[in-house]
Structure 1
C-alpha cells in the first residue's frame, strides 16, 4: 500500500480553516485518498515548519493563509508571475527536483467567482479598492486583467496605496485617494473590501455615496468577517453584495489542479459550505 502524499494548510491561527474540508471534497470527486491537515505555525517557526514538511514528511503541496503569505513567497525557490506581482503566495508546491514553487491563486479565484458563479461582467467597471495590503495586492492585477476601466485605491496609510499603484504601473487607469476623502470621491460600480477590519472585529464607517445604484460590493473575507461590510452594502442599496466564500473555493480548486492535474467541480463544494456556513 502506498502512503498518500501529504498536503497541508499553514496558518496562525488555523483551526478555523475550511481548506481541509474543501480539499477532501475535491478529492472525493476523483476517488483520491488525500492526507490533508492543518499546521499551526507561529511566524518565527513558519519557514522551518515548511522546510520540514516538504523535506521530511513527503509534503507535496501546501496552502498558506494569514499571516504567512509574504513569508511563503520569500522562502520559495521559484515564483509565478501572479505571486511576484502580489509579493505573496497562498500555494506552495514541491517540484520534482525538490525545490519549492510559490503561486498566488487568490486573484484568479476572485474573478472566477464574480464572473462565472455570480455572472457579473467586470469589463468597464470603475472599481474602488478599500485597503492596500497583502489581500489587495493578491487581487489587484487580476481585476485589471478582467478589464475594469479604472481602479481607485484607498488605504488608511496612503504610502501603501501609492506603492501598489506604482507597482501596477498604469497611471491612466489606477489612482489613489486619501481615506479622509471618501465622502467626496464620487461613486463606484465595484467596491472591493480588502481591509482587515472585519477580521479584526473593527467596523468600517463608509459613506453610502460611494455605491452606485447597480454596484457590486465584494468582501474578500467570508463568514463573520464580512458581515459588517455586506450590511453596509445592503443599506446603501447596491444591486449585488457577496462575500469571498466562492473565492476561497475557487482559489483552492486552482491549488488542487496544480497538485493533482485534475480540475474539480467547485459548485457542489461551494453549495455545501454555504449551507453550513451561511
Structure 2
C-alpha cells in the first residue's frame, strides 16, 4: 500500500504584468510548502499573462528549450521552485511561442528541476458566455493534439487545461492511459463557472474514477480593449467518487488534499465502469 500523495492547488489573481504574476506565484508557493508539505504543487491556466492585447500576450510568451536548455523567466521560475523545494511542480499553463500563434502549454518539473512533461491545450475556448462576452482563443493560440501523462511515484497523472473538461472523451482516454489523477488548470469565466465548474469537474471524477485537481485563476483582469473579465476561482480537488475534498475560498490562496490511490482502486473494483463500457 502506498502513502497518500499531498497535492496543493495554487489559486492566483493574475493580470497582464508577467513579473508581478511570477512574484505572486512565488509568494504562495513559499507559503504552501512549509505549511502543507506537498509533494506536488499545481498552478492555474495561463497565469503568467492573463488579459492584455495580442502584443502583450506574445511578449509574455516563451520559447521553450530543448531538454537541459535554459528557458525564459516563467520556465526558470518553475524549475527553481521544483529544485529549491525538492517537489514536483506542475506549472499550470503559460504562453508558448509557436510562430504566428502561441500554444497554451503545461510544463511539469521533477524535484531535480528536470522537465518531465509538456502538454499543449487541445480544445480552444471559442464561445459566447450568457452575458454576451465573446472569447476566441483560437485567434491567438494553436491547438495541441497529444495525450500526455507523467509518473509521480506510484501515481500516473494526466494533463488537461480548462475548456478540455467539457470533452469527456479526453478524460476517458487518460483513464485508459493509466491515469489515477487528472490535473485541470483553469481560468474559468464567472458566467460559466457559477453553473458548470463544479458540476463538470465532479462528473469527470465520477466517470473516470480518478482524482481531479483543478487550480484556478480568480478575480478581475482586463482584455485588450480594457473590458473587464472575471474569473471564477473556486479551485478544488475531488475524489474518485466525485466528492469535493478541498476547495479554495475567494481570492489568491492555496488548498491541499491527500490523494489516496487505494480509494481509486476500491471504487474501480466495486464498480468497474471501464470494463462495462460498450460504445466508446
Instruction: Give TM-score, length-normalised by structure 2.
Output: 0.29
Higher strand share: 2
Q: Using structure 1 for the length normalisation, give the TM-score.
A: 0.29
Larger radius of gyration: 1
Which one has the bigger helix percentage? 1
Higher RCO (CA < 8 A, seq sep 6+): 2
